[in-house]
Amino acid sequence: MSGGTQWIVMGVLLMGLGVCGLENGLARTPPMGWLAWQRFRCNTDCVNDPHNCISELLFMQMADILVNQGYRDLGYDMISLDDCWLSRERDALGRLQPDPFRFPSGIAALSDYMHKRGLKFGIYEDYGNFTCAGYPGILGHLQTDADTFADWGVDYVKLDGCYSHPVDMDQGYPLFGFYLNQTLRPMVYSCSWPVYQTYSGMTPNYTSIINTCNLWRNFDDIQDSWESVQRIIDYYGDNQDDIVPNAGPGHWNDPDMLIIGNFGLSYEQSKSQMAMWAIFAAPLLMSVDLRTIRPEYKAILQNRAVIEVNQDPLGIQGKRIYKDKGIEIWARPITPVFQGHYSYGVAFLNRRTDGTPSEVSVTLREIGLSYHGGYAITDLFDSVHYGTVLPDKRFKVDVNPSGVVLVRCEVVKTTGFGGGRPQLIEPAPQSSIRPPFQNHLFNQFGQQRLF
Ligand SMILES: *[C@@H]1O[C@H](CO)[C@@H](O)[C@H](O)[C@H]1NC(C)=O
Ligand SMILES: *[C@@H]1O[C@H](CO)[C@@H](O)[C@H](O)[C@H]1NC(C)=O
Ligand SMILES: *[C@@H]1O[C@H](CO)[C@@H](O)[C@H](O)[C@H]1NC(C)=O
């Protein structure tokens, strides 16, 4: 085995071992589903806007569409409330209750509605005195609220961080996690802990975070614009050495919702968000009106091949390996792994605005794909098959402005030299650790033709 191969194998081991997080058996791949916030916000006006207000009807309609239009079967199997579902007051026993006008059937019934359709049910609360929109927060009621969620059949809890002191979160988020665990009901735990701490100037303790949460928000709320998507992409790239190692089965970085199909992204930009969220091993939480989404955007959200990269069982988050003149290359190690070599999802992202596609040309070896047998390359949006490409052969893609080319580079299983039988090298416990992309990719980069 060459030195390079050993490094790659150790990279595999790192992912199995180096980071061990919360083990509640949940979120082995990034959660997928539908979350109300980005598209429907805090619209509580069911009198004047009954079809778009935060009400049980909205969530039931979205659930029906997940089931009837194929989303659930592709993995989008969760419907989640966000802020503004609550009544302004707790009940006489101090328990949370939904707004009685907008959720007349109650939360247990809504949860049941989801379960009957093979869906999971998510809820929103806040580790503070109030939620961000000013409804009751969980401070002073942690155990009661965890128990209430379990009683209601909740499967997923998003816990925001408004109206709290970020310094208290190091104790508060684990404590609420403890109460969730004590209910004995498995509930995915989504935290906003690191983002609030970062904004207050603290350095989040990711050791503690990954042992407490199944996913966590690192950065800004997404807004309905390409600018917002780009800011998130930049944050993940610029902070990847701190962020990427924390991702893995059961514990994920959450760059926030998919805004595909809304008002702010073009078709190309929508593919870019979908591709980048696949590279990020990000939760795929759609926040869009599924009743009116245009077919071409629905097709992006339902792109099975891209979802497969997102949901890859190794759970290794990808990294930015090249960035210059508005062109970025991102790569994520995925299965299958053969003789210690990963396959990869590779995204070529064009951030330029000159109105013609940019040609990007690299050899696979330059982006760290060096297996001698080569890689079978498929374009995941255009179903172009490039066939088998050897590591030193030049590979070219044309990337549209603010668009992406996402390819799957699957390691080609060869019988190897000397007629030996092929052997899949399984990750096995070992202590030495090397992340992927140790080689000097920046310096070795090949030609990039832009005009
Ligand atoms: C929450 O409310 C309590 C009681 O009014 C108060 O003592 C505490 O400081 C508040 N916490 C925050 C984070 O505002
Ligand atoms: C509670 O925590 C233990 C120990 O981490 C874990 O094995 C178990 O699955 C958790 N149970 C629930 C319901 O989260
Ligand atoms: C981070 O959290 C871990 C686990 O809770 C703890 O052992 C460690 O001391 C914390 N690190 C810092 C710098 O506070």
- Domain CATH for 352: 2.60.40.1180
Boundary residue ending a domain (310, 329, 349): 310
Q: Which one of 151, 170, 220, 221 is the catalytic residue? A: 221
Residues 58, 119 share a domain = yes
If we measure between CA atoms, which residue out of 77, 88, 64 comes closest to residue 35? 77
> Would you say the CB of residue 178 lies under 6 angstroms from ligand 2?
no
Would 125 be classed as within a structural domain?
Answer: yes
How many CB atoms are located within 10 Å of the residue 28 CB? 13
User: How does residue 19 score in pLDDT terms, banded at 50, 70 and 90?
Assistant: low
> What's this model's pTM, rounded to 2 decimal places?
0.90
Domain that holds residue 325: 319-450
Boundary residue ending a domain (283, 310, 337): 310
Inter-axis angle of helices 107-116 and 142-152, nearest 10:
40
Would 6 be classed as within a structural domain?
Answer: no
Residues 377, 306 share a domain = no
Would 17 be classed as within a structural domain?
Answer: no
Q: How far apart are CA 102 and CA 287, in angstroms?
A: 20
> Would you say the CB of residue 129 lies under 6 angstroms from ligand 1?
yes
> What type of residue sits at position 76?
Y
Structure confidence at residue 20 (pLDDT)? 75
Residues 46, 179 share a domain = yes
Would 1 be classed as within a structural domain?
Answer: no
Give alpha helix (H) positions in 211-266.
226-238, 240-243
Residues 338, 243 share a domain = no
Q: How far apart are CA 397 and CA 429, in angstroms?
A: 39
If we measure between CA atoms, which residue out of 429, 309, 311 comes closest to residue 31? 311
Structure confidence at residue 23 (pLDDT)? 87
Reply yes or no on whether the pLDDT at 247 is more than 60. Answer: yes
Residues 227, 132 share a domain = yes
Inter-axis angle of helices 267-279 and 226-238, nearest 10:
20
Reply yes or no on whether the pLDDT at 315 is more than 80. Answer: yes
Residue nearest atom 14 of ligand 3, based on CA coordinates: 205
Residues 180, 36 share a domain = yes
Q: How many domains does the chain have?
A: 2
**pLDDT tens digit sequence for 254-292:** 999 999 999 999 999 999 999 999 999 999 999 999 999
- Strands 358-363, 394-399: pairing kind: antiparallel
Residues 364, 248 share a domain = no
Burial class (CB in 10 A: 0-12, 13-18, 19+), 434: middle
Q: Give me the mean pLDDT over the 363-369 stretch.
A: 95
Looking up residue 183, the CATH number of its domain turns out to be 3.20.20.70
Residues 292, 331 share a domain = no
**pLDDT tens digit sequence for 197-218:** 999 999 999 999 999 999 999 9
Q: Give me the mean pLDDT over the 2-7 stretch.
A: 35
Reply yes or no on whether the pLDDT at 437 is more than 90. Answer: no
Residues 206, 95 share a domain = yes
Q: Give me the mean pLDDT over the 129-145 stretch.
A: 98
Dist. CA 309 → ligand 1 center (Å): 44
What DSSP character marks residue 93? T
Using the atom order of ligand 3, give the atom closest to the CA of residue 205.
1
Q: How far apart are CA 324 and CA 352, in angstroms?
A: 10
Boundary residue ending a domain (257, 284, 310): 310
> Would you say the CB of residue 18 lies under 6 angstroms from ligand 2?
no
Reduce the DSSP state of residue 125 to 3 states and report it.
strand
